[in-house]
Amino acid sequence: MSQVVETAEHAKKDATYFLALKELLFQLADDDLLIAFRGSEWLGLAPHVEEDVAYSSITQNTMGHAVMYYNLLEELGIGTADLLAHDRKSEERRNGIYLEKRNGEGNYLDEPYYDWALAVVRNYFYEAFKKIKLEAVANGSYKPLANVARKVLMEHHYHLAHWKLWIKQLGSSSDEAKKRIQGRVKEAWEEFADVLELGKHANDIRSHNLVSIGEEEMKDRWIDEVRTVLVEIPDGSLGKKYGSGRNGDHTQDLEQAVNTLAEVYNSDKTAAW
């Protein structure tokens, strides 16, 4: 099934198409959910008040994107959006592991020693790839998802520009700023590779034209993008230090994030989020 698929009912007629679509949607939803949560933990803690407002807006938008993908999964009969966001086991999550990494030591309510360099590098790397992936999805075969991707891309330009500016500013700032950014870039280079992947269903996702380009081309385009911005690219290949979140590998940081996210949901599972 590689032609345009107009509805969820049509998608469910082909078992391999349905499975590939489900996996892709979980990647998109879970990635946005986790990076939005880590962004929400910066509320009131950003370097200055203007950044606090800007980052909060970006985080709110990103959580809204996750909601749209979970709603598409709900339309496919996978489960309610609330359940899919809040009530799945860690091994069922498909977010990249780097996206679940804690912002730093402590927690939001108790001496949060967070690292702004991590926030900047993580968000720039992620938003640069999100653009590439969504452009591929926007030209894909599942029309409801392609429509959502085009809608997200309309505001995504501002998200990417925001983090690109931060990378450039800190990369040309003080020696301390440069050292911190380069340290986090090196760390990300060892951990980010699974974010760039489509997981074990990559071949079906591509063969069914759910994305218009394959995994390797997405990765190459991402590397080309970051090379235009980073002062220095780490030596060696991109790594997956903690495994692949696309295949259900995760860290304790995900447990902390999901437990915090689901606190209100678990107190009343009939409430709307």
Does residue 73 register a pLDDT over 90? yes
This prediction has a pTM of: 0.95
Does residue 269 register a pLDDT over 80? no
The CATH architecture of the domain made up of 8-267 is: Up-down Bundle (1.20)
| pLDDT confidence bin for 272, thresholds 50/70/90 | low
Q: What are phi and psi of 124, to 5 degrees?
A: -65, -50
Please tell me whether residue 114 adopts helix, strand or coil conformation. Answer: strand
| pLDDT confidence bin for 271, thresholds 50/70/90 | low
The residue-averaged pLDDT of 2-28 equals 95
The residues, ordered by sequence, that sit 6+ positions from 31 with a Cβ below 8 Å of its Cβ are 94, 95, 96, 99, 126, 130, 195
Are residues 91 and 271 in contact, defined by beta-carbon separation less than 8 angstroms? Answer: no
Cβ neighbours of 249 (radius 10 Å): 16
Q: Say how far apart CA 240 and CA 188 lie, in whole Å.
A: 9
Question: pLDDT of 129-153, one tens digit each?
Answer: 999 999 999 999 999 999 999 999 9
Show the tokens assigned to 44.
Answer: 């009131």
Q: Where are the domains of the chain?
A: 8-267
Find the helix packing angle between 215-227 and 116-138, rounded to 10°: 130
| pLDDT confidence bin for 1, thresholds 50/70/90 | low
